[in-house]
Amino acid sequence: MPNLDDRNWLQQAIDLSRSCPPTTTAFCVGAIIVSADGEVLATGYSRETDTHDHAEEVALTKVADDDPRLSTATIYTSLEPCSKRASRPRTCTELILAAGIRRVVLAWREPSTFVDCEGVELLEAAGVEVLELPDLAQEVQEINAAVLG
């Protein structure tokens, strides 16, 4: 069940997605990793340092792999973590699972514009709690209007 903090953190991730360099070939996504005690561990957005960067990937690279806070952290992402990817060897879903994050909060499921995404299903199958706040999806869609046509 989402709480007020979930909504606030997810809104911050959505706001962060506005920092993405615009393109018609990829979604603008923002992600924030927050510890169980409410500390921001890292943030990231699509194309932050490279044209192939995904938001969750960028945020995860900013936290040490062995940081014990990851196992109780939540990652807030404006778009469902990818489950198929051509530009890098590991998907964001795989990176989240490898990091040991057990909770994901998102605003919008990835539409089949580029691929059929199964991030939510794969995360849930691995025992990760996934919360979707669909009432925030319209803002994410508006940010991604160039992709959606």
Superfamily assignment of 4-147 in CATH? Cytidine Deaminase, domain 2 (3.40.140.10)
Percentage with pLDDT > 90 across the chain: 78
**Bridge partner residues of 30 (DSSP):** 45
Q: Tell me which residues are annotated as active site.
A: 56
One-letter amino acid identity for 123?
Answer: L
The confidence band for 10, taking pLDDT boundaries of 50, 70 and 90, is very high
| DSSP classification of residue 67 | -
Q: Is the per-residue pLDDT at 3 higher than 90?
A: no
Q: Is the per-residue pLDDT at 13 higher than 80?
A: yes
Calculate the dihedral angle through the C-alpha atoms of 71, 65, 94, 10, rounding to the nearest 10 degrees: 60
Which pLDDT belongs to residue 84?
84
Q: Is the per-residue pLDDT at 61 higher than 70?
A: yes
pLDDT in tens, 20-57: 988 888 999 999 999 999 999 999 999 999 999 999 99
Other C-beta atoms closer than 10 Å to the C-beta of 140 total 23
Element housing 146 (H / E): helix 145-148
